[in-house]
Amino acid sequence: MKDSAGEKLFYMFNYCVLFVVGLSCLIPIVYTLSVSFSNADAIRSGLVSLWPIGFSLESYKSLISGTPVIRAFGNSMIITVIGVSLSMVFTILAAYPLSKKYFYYTRFFTLAIVFTMLFSGGIIPTFLLMKGLGLINSYGSIWLVGLVSAYNMLVLKSFLENIPAEIEEAAKIDGCGEFALLIRIILPLSLPVIAALTLFYGVHYWNLFMTVLIYIQNVEMHNLTVMVQQMVNSQSLLIEMNKLDSNEMTDVTPEGIKSAGIMVMILPMILIYPLLQKYFVKGVMIGAIKG
């Protein structure tokens, strides 16, 4: 069946809008990348647009040698890797029993979890709780606050509900217990949604900002996002961190170092997302259609 003229016009309009939106997202990244690889004179004169002028790595050298970017990158890796691992374990342990009809009070616990999506204790009570637990200035506070996302848990629960019960019954007949069933049968069948949720959690933990500022007062424990934000907002701090006087900054500029810091911060997500993009789309659509 051929598309009508109106449908073709509608599709063409959609493509044009999506193309413009895509460019609006891509151009700032390309410009920042160009500034980070351009020499200081080109940046100062405002000649840099979408292509580096006078290719130079001085911004990255100054970023690495004069700022704690390596330490901040390591902190971000620790927060992300351990945080994603803990969140996935507890999300699976929450979603699996709630996906079973024979689990007692399934509806009650599900509604209680959904309630947290609408209402929360607030920042101050949560901070007092973390302080009472002795988790201030500890990554434990960050991991505990965002341990399980109610949305991610419901997505996984919806997926697990669609796994045929006959598979589980056959495994139990063969002597599989609940944990063996979960690890050897359910999880291998759930790899697409697990990959999608891992990406969700990974982006969340990597981009943490306010949570780190609230619970981590030790500057040496700050992650890459906080460090880059401080660089962007404080040029004087940037000059001091690089031990450069404003009159002696001939090889690098604050704008170049800021751009290099931003690229270092977003590079891991740019590299990982294309690998998991198909799982990301599938994870978003899970639960939209049943049957």
Cα–Cα dist 83/81, whole Å: 6
Using 50, 70 and 90 to split pLDDT, how confident is the model at 290? very low
Whether 264 is in a domain gets the answer no
Residue 219 is which amino acid? V
224 burial (CB, 10 Å; 0-12 / 13-18 / 19+) is buried
Whether 8 is in a domain gets the answer no
Whether 9 is in a domain gets the answer no
Cα–Cα dist 59/38, whole Å: 8
| pTM of this structure | 0.82
Please compute the mean of the pLDDT values over residues 241-262 and round it to a whole number. 67
How many domains is the chain built from?
1
How does DSSP assign 25-56, residue by residue?
HHHHHHHHHHHHTS-HHHHHTT--SSS-SS--
Cα–Cα dist 172/98, whole Å: 19
Is the pLDDT at 285 greater than 90? The verdict is no
Cα–Cα dist 199/186, whole Å: 20
Please compute the mean of the pLDDT values over residues 232-251 and round it to a whole number. 56
- Note down the domain range covering 135: 74-223+275-285
Whether 194 is in a domain gets the answer yes
> Among 32-41, 202-211, 270-279, which range has the highest average pLDDT?
202-211
Whether 151 is in a domain gets the answer yes
Say if CB 284 and CB 196 are below 8 A apart: yes
Write out pLDDT tens, residues 81-136: 999 999 999 999 999 999 888 888 888 998 998 898 888 888 888 999 999 999 99
Say if CB 283 and CB 197 are below 8 A apart: yes
Using 50, 70 and 90 to split pLDDT, how confident is the model at 281? low
CATH number of 200's domain: 1.10.3720.10
Whether 114 is in a domain gets the answer yes
Whether 93 is in a domain gets the answer yes
Whether 263 is in a domain gets the answer no
How does DSSP assign 172-192, residue by residue?
HHTT--HHHHIIIIIHHHTHH
